[in-house]
Structure 1
Amino acid sequence: MKAFLPFCGAVLVSLCSIAGAADDDGLSEQIRQLKSEALNLNRDLTLLEQELLYASPQTSIFVSVDVGTPIRLVDINLTIDGDHVGYHFYSDQEFEALTKGGIQRLYTGNLTSGRHVMEATITGYDPLGKDYQKTTSYNFT
């Protein structure tokens, strides 16, 4: 396919030089139409090449917390489209790093193109030491 792209470029250069030399309006219009079709073909081939090279987009999900959060994060369970894809238990040092602006990668993987649902269950303790659990979901494409 890569050998075909330079060929399209050579065809475009040839068509441009022919278009400049053509005197007949009918022939000139045909050349413009061929040039337009060659440009469209080149665009389509480039898109096809991108789809073949990067067929499955890689997705990464990161975790961060607000600085000064009152909740002590204990662990996070992550599902995408109902499949469990990530879990992490946070030590005191890791939680402290997150509260100072750190981020942590919880998931990296390939997802098909289209709509997905991510669901995270967060477990922790509130400022009074009581158990805290919250489940949140997010739709993305």
Structure 2
Amino acid sequence: MYGLHSTTRCRRGPWWFAWAAATLISHTGVAASLDDDIESLSAQVNEHLASVRSLERQLLYPTHTRLSVFLSLAERETLDLDAIELFLDDQPVASHLYQNRERSALEAGGVQELYIGNLATGQHRLKAVITARAADKSFVRREAVRSFIKPPGALVVELTVAAPAPDYQPRVTFTEWK
């Protein structure tokens, strides 16, 4: 217990290092194979999810009653969109508060789907309330109303927002696609 004692050496020899190296090398091949399997499974799940969403859209929004409303910006530099509210037959159906990245996407020419739903054929009224900051840094709030007749089949309406100089007041135009 006391006194000088000789230290015992580790009993691991060169064979241990060879075994550890072989184990690590064999596991990297398994890990690469496992990564490939996970990536393949992830791709299959994404494909399945896309087909499920497509089927869900077809079931929830049949083509003969579908109404889709999209938003785009015509004047990209003169208007910072803050919020939009969408009313269909005086009932609120959609609202959105914009973040910087969404504004950037719209300014880059993107189109946003505001609403998709079912609507019976006949006379209807679509109202959009837009809150934005104009190029002269003033806050503006505008309402735009459009009456339309929904024909049988799908109807797509695009709201295009512009704020031309010199007054920079937002103007909304409605375009119907069939």
Give the TM-score, by structure 2 length.
0.47
Partner amino acid, structure 2, of 1:72:
D
Q: Is the 8 A contact 1:56 1:113 kept in 2?
A: no
Distance (whole Å) between structure 2 residues aligned to residue 65 and residue 55 of structure 1: 27
Q: Which residue of 2 aligns with 1:6?
A: none
Q: Which residue of 1 aligns with 2:93?
A: 85
Q: Number of aligned pairs?
A: 88
Task: Give unmatched runs, 5+ long, in structure 2.
Answer: 1-61, 150-178
Q: Which residue of 2 aligns with 1:134?
A: 142
1:103 counterpart = 2:111: yes
Partner amino acid, structure 1, of 2:100:
D
- Structure with the largest fraction of helix: 1
Task: Give unmatched runs, 5+ long, in structure 1.
Answer: 1-53
User: Which of 64, 69, 87 does residue 61 from structure 1 map onto?
Assistant: 69
**Shift of residue 82, structure 1, vs aligned partner:** 0.5
SS at match of 2:116: strand
Partner amino acid, structure 2, of 1:119:
K
CA deviation string 1:10-43 (max 9, x = no partner): xxxxxxxxxxxxxxxxxxxxxxxxxxxxxxxxxx
**Shift of residue 113, structure 1, vs aligned partner:** 0.7
**Shift of residue 62, structure 1, vs aligned partner:** 0.4
Runs of 4+ in 1 over 6 A off after TM superposition: none
Identity of aligned residues (%): 31
Give the TM-score, by structure 1 length.
0.58
In the superposition, relative to structure 1, how do residues 55 and 125 fare at CA in structure 2: closer, same or farther (>3 Å)? closer
SS at match of 1:128: coil
Q: Is the 8 A contact 2:77 2:135 kept in 1?
A: no
Distance (whole Å) between structure 2 residues aligned to residue 57 and residue 84 of structure 1: 19
Higher gyration radius (CA): 2
Q: Which residue of 1 aligns with 2:42?
A: none
Q: Which residue of 1 aligns with 2:32?
A: none
Distance (whole Å) between structure 2 residues aligned to residue 69 and residue 82 of structure 1: 31
Partner amino acid, structure 1, of 2:121:
S
**Shift of residue 55, structure 1, vs aligned partner:** 8.8
Superposed CA RMSD in Å reads 1.6
